[in-house]
Amino acid sequence: MKQTTPPPGSPRTYRVKSFGCQMNVYDGERMAELLEADGIAPAPEGEDADLVVLNTCHIREKATEKVYSDIGRIEKAGRKAGKKPMIAVAGCVAQAEGEEIMKRSPGVGMVVGPQAYHRLGDMVGKAAKGERSTDTDMPEDAKFAALPARRKVAPSAFLTVQEGCDKFCTYCVVPYTRGAEISRPYSELLIEAEKLVEAGAREITLLGQNVNAWSGEDDKGRSVGLDGLIRQLDKLPDLQRIRYTTSHPNDMTPGLIAAHGEVGKLMPYLHLPVQSGSDRVLKAMNRSHTAESYLKLLDKFREVRPDIALSGDFIVGFPGETEAEFEETLALIDAVRYSSAFSFKYSPRPGTPAATMEGQIAAEVMDDRLQRLQASLGRDQHAFNTAKVGTVCDVLIERKGRRPGQWLGKSPWLQSVFFEEELAIGDMVRAELVSAGPSSLAGRLVERAPA
Ligand code: SAH
Ligand code: SF4
Ligand code: F3S
């Protein structure tokens, strides 16, 4: 890895702040590695960094305003300390707003879109000379090839396998900010997965905006789907867990469903967003599945893996959503009994078809629906957790808890499990789940390293 002495004016320390989805977390980690390869060190906690990268999200409202207020805050802190920090705006707001950010915020030195991170180093070099630059090109796959290898990773690591989206749900900005669907090559992913495991990963979560649309070719030119990639990763001896997220109902294959019954390391958890339980709303969203086809799909997963934990995403208050249609979403939730879920108020995104649809829903109505929806989801999550009390499972310890002496890990069903015993990050322990709260469980150590 190249290690150079930075030229004068170059930042010596950096901080990357990532917002939004896990793919941004992955990208943020890779940008950090890129900066470190150029001799820039992470800023010590509590200290201002010479270079701040805001790795932004554009999925819902206020994201853009938040970026401008963050920029203001960083500049103010810099002025107080008599410094002028270098600011880079990356991520989906960078892609969507590009030049606008440059115009509005003279303190921003670089705007770099999610497909252009491999050029970050050059842009920092330019900024050190007082030159501002914007790069929101979308060259296919270039960024991954140019990103450096990792040295040390957390026990639970992300691996982006697929990016972009061709689905064009009428409410969503992702197809515009992340571009068309691309799959990273199979061989490249196997190498990166091996490196992750060598560097300490015990669990790998495969990431993609439509991760189950991933496809590749093996060394004999045969086509491989996500299930094939998972089966190959299953062979890595030191890898203990495999997960993937986020899937789209339309890209689900029989092979991937079958893998849940056959691949021991594939965890019993599926995140499958549905957004609404009303077929009229789903059609207006351009989701191209119905409530019934979605439920049938979940049944297939339950057939091969009866204990599978199900998760989803919901939007309340899509334009034109009636009370009766909202109640269809509640009915779908009752039918599924999710173990956890994410739910959002519809947020009109500039440039998306739904933003100009008739029947935009009043804020109070959305608030009321979100509250009722979350009450249902919360009830089911608590019930799911409670049903596990008294059982024994493996838990991967990921970090310290907030209280001193407390440790936090994840169950196979992605529940947070807290321990009071002395443990270490990366431990895989056998634990009894002794009590359940609405969003976590308490665990008691049965055995330090399960067979
Ligand atoms: N690719 C995934 C997730 C994309 S974004 C999928 O298709 O399911 C994550 C979630 O944000 C979406 O599932 C949706 O529930 C929510 N979301 C996206 N755009 C939104 C908007 N304009 N308003 C509110 N929620 C939105
Ligand atoms: Fe957005 Fe729909 Fe694509 Fe998901 S599938 S990223 S919600 S357009
Ligand atoms: Fe946000 Fe972009 Fe992810 S808009 S959710 S950071 S793909």
pLDDT in tens, 278-293: 999 999 999 999 999 9
pLDDT at position 220 is 94
Which residue has the CA at smallest separation from atom 6 of ligand 3? 57
Written as six digits, the tokens of 224 are 């491989």
pLDDT at position 7 is 67
**Nearest atom of ligand 3 to the alpha carbon of 92:** 2
Neighbours of 331 (CB within 10 A): 14
- Ligand 2 pocket member 174 (CB < 6 A): yes
CA distance 325 to 20: 28
| Pocket probe mutation, ligand 2, options 58, 95, 168, 288, max atoms within 8 Å of Cβ | 168
Q: What is the mean pLDDT of residues 188-209?
A: 95
- pLDDT category, 1, cuts 50, 70, 90? very low
- Pocket of ligand 3, beta carbon within 6 A: 20-21, 23-24, 57-59, 91-92, 173-174, 177-178
Written as six digits, the tokens of 66 are 């938040």
- pLDDT category, 439, cuts 50, 70, 90? very high
Residues in CB range of 232: below 8 A, 6 or more apart: 190, 224
C-alpha 129 chain-centroid distance: 35
Say how many Å lie between the CA of residue 164 and the centre of ligand 2: 9
pTM exceeding the 0.75 threshold for the entire prediction: yes
Which residue has tokens 């630059």? 133
Closest to 119 in 3D by CA, of 41, 8, 34: 34
Tell me the pLDDT tens digit for each residue of 84-123. 899 999 999 999 988 899 999 999 999 999 999 889 999 9
Residue 368: is its pLDDT beyond 70? yes
Residue 6: is its pLDDT beyond 90? no
Of 168 and 5, more confident: 168
Q: Would you say how long the chain is, in residues?
A: 451
Q: What is the mean pLDDT of residues 309-317?
A: 98
Closest to 160 in 3D by CA, of 143, 174, 173, 175: 143
Closest to 27 in 3D by CA, of 39, 42, 16: 16
- Ligand 2 pocket member 167 (CB < 6 A): yes
